Amino acid sequence: MYRIDDTTAVANQPNPPSDNIGQPGYFTGGNAASGLPATRVRYWWLNQLQEENMAWLAAASITPSKGSNGQVLQAARALFGTTYARAGASTMMLPSGLIVQSFGTPGVTLGAANQAVSFNVTYPIAFPNACIAIWARDNGNACITWGSFQNPGNASAQGWVWSSAAGSGNSAAGAVTAIGY
* pLDDT at res. 144: 46
pLDDT at residue 26 tops 90: yes
Query: pLDDT tens, 28-58?
Result: 999 999 999 999 999 999 999 999 999 999 9
- Where residue 142 falls among pLDDT bands split at 50, 70, 90? very low
- Reading phi first (left if > 0) and then psi (alpha if -120 to 50, else beta), residue 124 is in alpha
User: Which of residues 55 and 20 earns the better pLDDT score?
Assistant: 55
* pLDDT at res. 57: 96
- CA gap 126, 178 in Å, rounded: 11
**Domains observed in the chain:** 1-80 (no CATH), 82-180 (2.60.40.3940)
| 116 neighbors 162 (Cβ within 8 angstroms) | yes
* pLDDT at res. 152: 74
